[in-house]
Structure 1
Amino acid sequence: MPSTAYSDTHGGDIRTVKQCPPFVDAMTHGFVFTLPCDVRVHNGMFSWDWDLPQPAARMHPRAPLSFHVPAQVEGTPFHADDRVVVKFNSFWTVELPDGWSLFAMPTANRQDLPFQALSGLVDADRYHDVGILFPAIWTQPDFEGVLARGTPVVQCFPVQREPLEYVFEAFDADETAAYDALGRRLLDDKGIYRKQYRAPRLRPSGK
Structure 2
Amino acid sequence: MRVIFRCDPILAQHLPRPVPARGVLPDWLRAMPATAYSAIHGRDIRTLKQCPPVVDAMTYGFMILLPCDVVVDRGKFSWDWNIPEPATGNHPRAPLSFHTPGQLAGSPFARPGQAALKFNSFWTIEVEDGWSLYATHPVNREDLPFRLVTGLVDSDRFSDGGINFPAIWKEPEFSGVLGKGTPVAQCFAVPRAAPQLEFEVFDEKRQAAYAQTVADVLSTPGVYRKRFRARRGRSTGE
Q: Sort the TM-score into its range (normalised by shorter chain).
A: over 0.9
Q: Secondary structure at the match of 2:217?
A: helix
Query: Please, which of 158, 166, 177 is the counterpart of residue 127 of structure 1?
Result: 158
Q: 1:43: how far off?
A: 3.4
Match of 2:98 among 27, 52, 67: 67
Match of 1:97 among 128, 153, 167: 128
Hey, what's the Cα distance between the residues in 2 that align with 1:43 and 1:179? 52
Shift of 1:7: 2.1
Aligned residues: 207
Match of 1:155 in 2: 186
TM-score (norm 1): 0.96
- Hey, what does 1:201 align to over in structure 2? 232
Could you say what the CA RMSD is over the residues aligned between the two structures, in angstroms?
A: 1.2
Give the Cα–Cα distance (whole angstroms) in 1 for the partners of residues 97 and 175 of structure 2.
Answer: 18
Written as runs of structure 1 = structure 2, the 5 A alignment for 1:104-183 is: 104-183=135-214
TM superposition shift of 1:127: 0.3
Partner of 2:111: 80
**C-alpha distance in structure 2 between counterparts of 1:159 and 1:75, whole Å:** 29
Distance 1:9 1:173 in 2: 34
**1:60 positional shift:** 1.1
Match of 1:8 in 2: 39
Are the equivalent residues in 1 in contact too, given 2:74–2:172 (CA < 8 A)? no
Residue number in structure 2 paired with 1:19: 50
Mapped partners of 2:81, 2:204: distance in 1 = 64
Following superposition, the deviation at residue 73 of structure 1 comes to 1.3
Offset, 1:164: 2.4
**1:43-99 C-alpha deviation (Å, 9 max, x unpaired):** 321001111122110211100010101110111111122333100001111001110
TM-score by structure 2 length? 0.84
SS in 1 for 2:225: helix
Gaps of 5+ in 1: none
CA distance in 1, matches of 2:42, 2:187: 40
